[in-house]
Structure 1
Amino acid sequence: MRSILLLVLFLGMANFFSAQESADALSAFVNNEELKNASLGFSLLDPSGKEIQSYESERSLAPASTVKLLTSITALEVLGYDHKFVTTLTIQGTVIKGKLIGNVILKSGGDPTLGASDFQNHYGDFVNEWVEAIKAEGITEIDGRILIDDTALEGDRNAGSTALNDVGNYYGAGAPGFSFMDNEFTVFFTTGGVGTASMVVKTEPVLPDSIELVNEVIAGNKSGDNVIVYSLDGGNQVFLKGELPANKIDFQVRGAIPDVTRFAQAYLQKAIENEEISITGVEKNGPLYMNSKELVRTKSPALIEILKVLNKKSVNSYADVLLKHIGKASGRPATFEGGAEAVKAYWKEKGLDTNGIYIEDGSGLSRKNNITARFMTGVLQSQIEDEQVNKMMNEASLSSSVKSMWGEAFKGQIQAKSGYIGRVMAYAGYIISDGEKHPFYLTVNNFSGSASGMRTLMGTALRGVRLEL
């Protein structure tokens, strides 16, 4: 009898706390002290698209990485789920007695994932495949150059409003004309006592001699990676500044390759020379060298597979490249500006209010991106029955910044993509009640307190909103 009474009491308390959490969850969140000086926007729709809860949903605010959902969904609409990007290897010129009098040309199709670590199983040893194709032509000498045509995409690698201290770091790899092996490298450091200079042991992959590392990193008292990597698009220097923990061996720091085209040229040339094929390095031009033969077409995974990884791991470079492709596919320049114009035009044509929508890049790295909560829920509403987007959202929900918010009790009830960048935190996706999806978007700009504290507050608010449905 006593056990039954305890069980009833426990269940009653559980219902009490659930009710407490759900009671006017949005109001409790808005009035939290840590949001006293913040700006926030919230929108929640019912399955039919009617807005049923909101707070400043027309206010234009920074979305951080949740803008990747806008980029992803627009790319699916414009390019198609099965779209694949193609990189083509050709030889140009004439082969005489094993000598290619001409050039080897790698033509980029703007594949953001070529050689990326997340797609190793897809690409396999693709560079070796290229080299073997050259050997199969009987070529033992190249009187010409290894060239890369990176004109598929245009403009700068990073949006003009990207912060300088983001550009050289791995997450600031941006959208170069040719993407290769994640567009990043890892520096291995060894450190001594506090205050002493660090030593660069190696980089992986090995950078060409034309790129100089300027190491100003010292050993300090702080834990973790406190290094900022500075470089400019197309530059030949990478500056490493900051501190690393003292007395460490092979401490790893990731940075963006400043000139991916030049790096890829050197990488392919070395792979060819390793097969004892000599290269003069003198480019051949003119009508005598116009003959060309396609050797290999290397295709990317289907777009939807790229988007699953993009949104789960929040890969900035994939999103930035896709924004340029959206511009190109819409008949505009393959630039950040062209892509931004195309995105706004597409959703305006679909009937959404694009006032207050300012797009600088596809990833959310620029702090000048601004969207409204109502616009984002409108975009999500348009995909509410799309099974491929559902799979993409399931992958996005597996990220640690999303999973940690809900707990087992709410598993399968909230699909979301998270976003965070310097005092900006946002979540976008679907709250699921009785099998029906409710598009939602919540962003907070300029909050006080820690990121972990804000994540907890936002999680509590969204769980409460779910319980109110």
Structure 2
Amino acid sequence: MNRIFIALFLLFVSSQVKSQSDTLSTLPDLPELQTAEYSFYVYDATMGQVVAQSPQKSLTPASVLKLVTTATAMRLLGPDFRFKTRFGYTGKIDHKTGTLKGDLIIKGGADPAFYSEYFPMDYLGVFEQWAYQLKQLGIKQVDGDIIGDASALDDTAIPGGWIWEDMGNYYGAGVYGLTFADNMYRIHFQSPAEAGKQTNVIKVQPKTPGFTLDNRVVSSDEKSDQSYVYGAPYAQQQMVMGAIPKGKNDFVVKGAMPNPPLEAADSLRKVINNLGIEITGEAKASFTSVDGDFHQMAVQESPTLQNIIDVTNHESVNLFAEHLLREIGRKVFGKPTLDEGLKAIKSYWMDRGIDLQGFYQTDGSGLSRSNAICTKTLVEVMLNMYRVPGDEIFFDSLPLAGEDGTLQYFFQGTPLDGKLRAKTGSMERVRSFAGEFTNRNGHQLFFAVIVNNFSGSSYKMGKKLEPWLLTFY
């Protein structure tokens, strides 16, 4: 009798082992993966069980990390939160002569979207309205400066771990208490018809006072932009190197503004001057508060946090994610710094029982290669958002396969076209996806996959992962 029991027990154990071994634990045998590291985790929320998982490895996630930052911001700040930028002046107005004896101040509120191209209608004519308010006060002349007050954040514009090749380019723009126009400028090039020749810079827009650009870009037979802008925050001299397609009369390359608060002040100065009000001083930036006898004249609110997060995840805007990280630090610890934001995020998810083993976050956007995370952590964060009533709106911020954002060219013409939502991530030798979809059986699946150090391009690796993800549909 004991022998029969033991035999049945061993049969049960072997069947369980076989069932577990049948669970998918590897990606397809692709040549590109021979030297790569990868991790994935797929969870069926309808059945409450793991569908597939690999050994969990802490890997560089690239922009998929934005999913953690934006989910935390949605929870802690709330979807209706708005940033505020204030305008006013110091000193006194001499109404007899129409002279303001003091400075004009733009007090930044760490709004990532202030005059952003992603929200043009929200800021349309704001500077003109402010200038007109000066006119209504009878001011004809300002005996003072116009100052961009960026004291809402500290002056650590760039997170640790960002590489020199990224920092001068638009996607590596720094974070400031007064961010302006996506902290981005455009270089307009004219390239000769012959490859290998020096290009000409037609214009730089906008151009901060004192800014100079060392152009070392040549024309090329390549069809895409192969140029890089090199420059550090606050440095008014930048260099652009590499190559752009030959025979172009107006080829645009985007760079990161070295001093956005100064550019904001100078842009407003031009608008005020155009209205006939003279400013005797200069446009300046300040990284310490100029509260003093500040007389507030106007407040400009940002779009809602929900709208900002929607753009952050759909278009993978690094600048927005870095701003959200600092605002999380302000909310939790009263200090809008990189370190406090990172600490707040880790503390928040740890308190909710999320497995943070292997979670090492050094920025909010994923641009730093020092970031590392396990795919199980990403899935658990999404599951937490899914299970709390009201938080389902977060998933609307993720790109929709085959239709928009960074997923526009993925899963087109497949059963997941228009059904799968996911945050994507890519940089050299990094490709990642994390999101959700409903499969053919009506089950809600959440997944994350990260691949590091593969051969070939990031885009091609993403396309190679499509058939694998389709197996779960």
Common fold by TM > 0.5: yes
Q: Aligned ranges for residues 141-156 of structure 1 at < 5 Å?
A: 141-156=141-156
Contact residue 313 and residue 396 of structure 1 kept, 8 A: no
2:393 corresponds in structure 1 to: 388
* Pairing partner for 1:402 from 403, 407, 410: 407
Deviations 1:399-446 (Å, cap 9, x if unpaired)? 464243323322343211111011100000113134442221100000
Identical-pair percentage: 33
Alignment-mate amino acid for residue 75 of structure 2: E
Question: Cα–Cα, structure 1 residues 435 and 360, in superposed 2: closer, same or farther, change >3 Å?
Answer: same
Deviations 1:163-201 (Å, cap 9, x if unpaired)? 101000011113222111111011111112333221110
Alignment-mate amino acid for residue 407 of structure 1: Q
2:287 corresponds in structure 1 to: none
Q: Aligned ranges for residues 58-457 of structure 1 at < 5 Å?
A: 59-97=57-95, 98-192=98-192, 193-205=194-206, 207-281=207-281, 290-331=292-333, 333-385=335-387, 386-393=391-398, 398-399=403-404, 401-408=406-413, 409-433=415-439, 434-457=441-464
Are residues 1:55 and 2:54 paired? yes
Bigger mean CA deviation after superposition, 432-441 or 236-245: 432-441
CA deviation after TM superposition for structure 1 residue 128, in Å: 0.8
Alignment-mate amino acid for residue 302 of structure 1: T
Q: Distance in 2 between matches of 1:165 and 1:189?
A: 20
Q: Distance in 1 between matches of 2:307 and 2:283?
A: 38
2:10 corresponds in structure 1 to: none
CA deviation after TM superposition for structure 1 residue 156, in Å: 1.9
In structure 2, the gaps of 5 or more residues are: 1-21, 285-290
Contact residue 402 and residue 418 of structure 2 kept, 8 A: no
Q: Distance in 1 between matches of 2:405 and 2:118?
A: 17
Q: Distance in 1 between matches of 2:412 and 2:226?
A: 31
Deviations 1:76-104 (Å, cap 9, x if unpaired)? 01110000000000122211121111111
CA deviation after TM superposition for structure 1 residue 388, in Å: 1.2
User: Which secondary structure does the structure 1 equivalent of 2:70 belong to?
Assistant: helix
1:21 corresponds in structure 2 to: none
Contact residue 308 and residue 396 of structure 1 kept, 8 A: no
| C-alpha RMSD over aligned residues | 2.1
Alignment-mate amino acid for residue 200 of structure 1: V
Q: Distance in 1 between matches of 2:283 and 2:25?
A: 67
2:466 corresponds in structure 1 to: 459
Q: Distance in 2 between matches of 1:28 and 1:44?
A: 12
Q: Distance in 1 between matches of 2:359 and 2:278?
A: 53
Bigger mean CA deviation after superposition, 433-442 or 254-263: 433-442
Please, what TM-score do these two structures have when normalized by structure 2? Answer: 0.88
1:41 corresponds in structure 2 to: 39
Please, what TM-score do these two structures have when normalized by structure 1? Answer: 0.88
Q: Distance in 2 between matches of 1:108 and 1:396?
A: 36
Q: Distance in 2 between matches of 1:240 and 1:452?
A: 25
Alignment-mate amino acid for residue 363 of structure 1: S
Q: Distance in 1 between matches of 2:429 and 2:307?
A: 31
**Count of paired positions:** 437
Bigger mean CA deviation after superposition, 84-93 or 220-229: 220-229
Contact residue 25 and residue 55 of structure 2 kept, 8 A: no
CA deviation after TM superposition for structure 1 residue 32, in Å: 2.5
Alignment-mate amino acid for residue 80 of structure 1: G
Alignment-mate amino acid for residue 203 of structure 1: V
Question: Cα–Cα, structure 1 residues 225 and 101, in superposed 2: closer, same or farther, change >3 Å?
Answer: same
Deviations 1:191-223 (Å, cap 9, x if unpaired)? 123332211101222x02311111111222322
Bigger mean CA deviation after superposition, 263-272 or 399-408: 399-408
CA deviation after TM superposition for structure 1 residue 380, in Å: 0.3
Question: Cα–Cα, structure 1 residues 405 and 191, in superposed 2: closer, same or farther, change >3 Å?
Answer: closer
Q: Distance in 1 between matches of 2:399 and 2:212?
A: 42
